Amino acid sequence: MPESATARCHCGGVELQATFPSRFCAHCYCWSCRTAHAAGVVTWIGFKRSQVRFTKGEELLRDYESSPGVRRKFCGRCGTRMAFESEHGDWAERTGDGHWRIFGRSDDTIKVAGKRFGPAEIEEVVLMVPGVRDAAAIGVPDPVKGSALVVMVVPADGAADPADLSAAVDAAGGLPYTRTAKLMRRAIRAVYLGDDPGDLSGMDNADGLEAVAAVKP
C-alpha cells in the first residue's frame, strides 16, 4: 500500500494529500448520494483531519455548512468538491466479505424498540413501492418503543396515495432538500413535531416543508 494518495480539482488549482491508513473506505448507493454526484454509487474514503493537508491552492478553497456539524469544501474557481469535514460520525457496519456499508449519519439514525435503522435504507425500500416518487423516514417519540417510524412519501404524478404508508405529502416541488441534493430530514422531523426547524438558508424548495406541516398530527 502506498504511504499517501493525492487528489486535485478539475482546473488543477487545488491539490491535497492524504496519508494512509484511512479510517474506512465504503460505497454508498443511497438516493441522496446518487443524485448529488450523478452516479450510480459513490465511494467515500475517510481520514482523520491530521492525515489530510492541502498542498496547493488552499486560498482557492471555499466552504459552507451544509448541515449542523458538516462543512463541505470545494474549489472556488471550478467548483470541484474536494472534501467534507464532520463533527459527527457515520453509522456503518462491516460485512462478512470485508466491505463497509454506510447507513447514514450517527446522529440521524432511528432506534425503534432497541433496533437501529438508517433512514436511507428505509427510504430505499419505500421507493420500490409502485406510485412513490420520493420518501423521507424520520423517528418520532413513542412512549413504548422510544421512537416510532414515520415515512413521508410523495406520490408519483398521476398516482393515488400509496396504501399502508405513514403520510402522503402533496408537494409539487417534492420534499425539502439542500442545494446539494441532501434530504433535510431533521427539518422535516422538526416541522412534523411542531418544533423550530432551525437554519433553513441552505434549503432549495420551501414548499416541501409546507407540505410536511400540512400532514403533521
Residue 91 pLDDT:
58
Residue 6 pLDDT:
94
What is the DSSP secondary structure assignment for residue 113, as one 8-state letter? T
Which residue positions in the chain have pLDDT lower than 50?
164, 167, 170, 172
What is the DSSP secondary structure assignment for residue 156, as one 8-state letter? P
What is the DSSP secondary structure assignment for residue 203, as one 8-state letter? B
Residue 131 pLDDT:
80
- Spatial CB neighbours of 49, under 8 Å, sequence gap ≥ 6: 85
Residue 89 pLDDT:
58
Of the candidates 138, 163, 136, 158, the residue with the CA atom closest to the CA atom of residue 148: 138
- pTM score, two decimals? 0.54
Of the candidates 24, 14, 29, 177, the residue with the CA atom closest to the CA atom of residue 89: 24
Angle at the Cα of 209 (from 205 to 211), degrees rounded to 5?
105
Contact 47, 18 (CB under 8 A): yes
Radius of gyration over every alpha carbon of the chain, rounded to an integer in angstroms: 19
In this structure, the number of other CB atoms found within 10 A of the CB of residue 123 comes to: 23
Domains along the sequence of the chain with CATH: 4-91 (2.170.150.70), 109-215 (3.30.300.30)
Helix/strand/coil for 33: helix
| Strand-pair category, 167-168 with 146-155 | parallel
HSE, side-chain direction, 13 A CA sphere, residue 46: 16
In this structure, the number of other CB atoms found within 10 A of the CB of residue 108 comes to: 21
CA distance 64 to 202: 9
Of the candidates 130, 48, 132, 118, the residue with the CA atom closest to the CA atom of residue 83: 48
Which residues are 52's β-sheet partners?
18
CA distance 52 to 46: 10
CA distance 26 to 120: 15
**Residue at grid coordinates 480539482:** 9
Which residues are 117's β-sheet partners?
110
Q: Catalytic residue at 142? A: no
What one-character-per-residue DSSP string does 154-172 give?
A: EEPTTPPPPTT-SEE---T
Annotated catalytic residue, options 107, 134, 164, 207: 107
